[in-house]
Chains A and B, each alone.
Chain A
Amino acid sequence: AQTVTQSQPEMSVQEAETVTLSCTYDTSESDYYLFWYKQPPSRQMILVIRQEAYKQQNATENRFSVNFQKAAKSFSLKISDSQLGDAAMYFCAFGGGADGLTFGKGTHLIIQP
């Protein structure tokens, strides 16, 4: 079974600064996918970014990028130029193809104006 660990229950960053959210996982699979989901107070789950494990290149989506270290089983999310609208819970998730996702416990991101 896979496990996903997010060791930061809460992070705080000044608006316009950069913040990195940590995620580690454990699996015996070699081919899989990793995701970061954002959950604002509305509780809607919104995909932020995804990474295919077979790709060495780190995924990037505008201000969001990941640092994927497959050997270390680490998948951190970097948010550049933080905005007030980035405030939310962020969940790291592991999935294999169309399998059910395994989520971490989440990191509550606070943006200080």
Chain B
Amino acid sequence: EPEVTQTPSHQVTQMGQEVILRCVPISNHLYFYWYRQILGQKVEFLVSFYNNEISEKSEIFDDQFSVERPDGSNFTLKIRSTKLEDSAMYFCASHRGLAGGEQFFGPGTRLTVL
């Protein structure tokens, strides 16, 4: 069964460094998402991406964040200058684009900012 994959599973970085989190969505899906979950808290929507552009973003998704689909398979989230409060689990998800379809989540990348 097709699945969303994410790399790395765990990323440790120093405050102020740039990080890129990578995702490979399910191949025939059209919508891609990033979510964040700070430890012990709820899952929060960051951004959705369709047709090579951002279709929706939350107030969390400020200028420090960017997303890109550099080729036909990868979908990346870049954090330019990480802060301690960026430490969280980051989930990628994809959606076929059909009404009522579910979003399929990847296993997540745990980001630790020191």
A residues within 8 Å of B by Cβ?
33, 35, 37, 42-47, 50, 52, 91, 93, 95, 97-106
| Bound CA span A45–B42, Å | 12
| Bound CA span A47–B2, Å | 15
The answer to whether B42 and A50 touch across the interface, beta carbons within 8 angstroms, is no
| Bound CA span A44–B50, Å | 24
> Which residue of A is nearest B96, CB measured?
A98
The answer to whether B45 and A101 touch across the interface, beta carbons within 8 angstroms, is yes
Interface residue tally for chain B (C-beta within 8 Å): 32
| CB-CB contacts below 8 Å: B24-76 with A | 30-31, 33, 35, 37, 41-48, 50, 55-56, 58
The answer to whether A105 and B41 touch across the interface, beta carbons within 8 angstroms, is yes
| Bound CA span A21–B43, Å | 18
B89 within 8 A of A: yes
The answer to whether A50 and B102 touch across the interface, beta carbons within 8 angstroms, is yes
Residue in A43, A44, A100, A106 whose CB lies within 8 Å of B56: A100
The answer to whether A44 and B105 touch across the interface, beta carbons within 8 angstroms, is yes
The answer to whether A102 and B97 touch across the interface, beta carbons within 8 angstroms, is no
The answer to whether B45 and A100 touch across the interface, beta carbons within 8 angstroms, is yes
14 further interface pairs, Cβ-Cβ under 8 Å (given A44-B108, A100-B47, A102-B45):
A37-B43, A42-B107, A43-B89, A47-B103, A47-B104, A91-B43, A93-B43, A98-B30, A98-B55, A98-B95, A101-B35, A101-B43, A103-B42, A104-B42
> Which residue of B is nearest A31, CB measured?
B99
The answer to whether B99 and A97 touch across the interface, beta carbons within 8 angstroms, is yes
| Bound CA span A44–B104, Å | 10
Closest 7 CB pairs of A and B: A100-B45, A45-B105, A103-B43, A98-B31, A105-B42, A103-B42, A47-B102
> Which residue of B is nearest A54, CB measured?
B100
Which residues of B sit under 8 angstroms from A37, Cβ to Cβ? 43, 105
| Bound CA span A46–B31, Å | 18
> Which residue of B is nearest A98, CB measured?
B31
Bitwise interface map of B from 85 to 100 toward A, beta carbon under 8 Å scored 1, else 0: 0000101010101011
> Which residue of A is nearest B33, CB measured?
A100
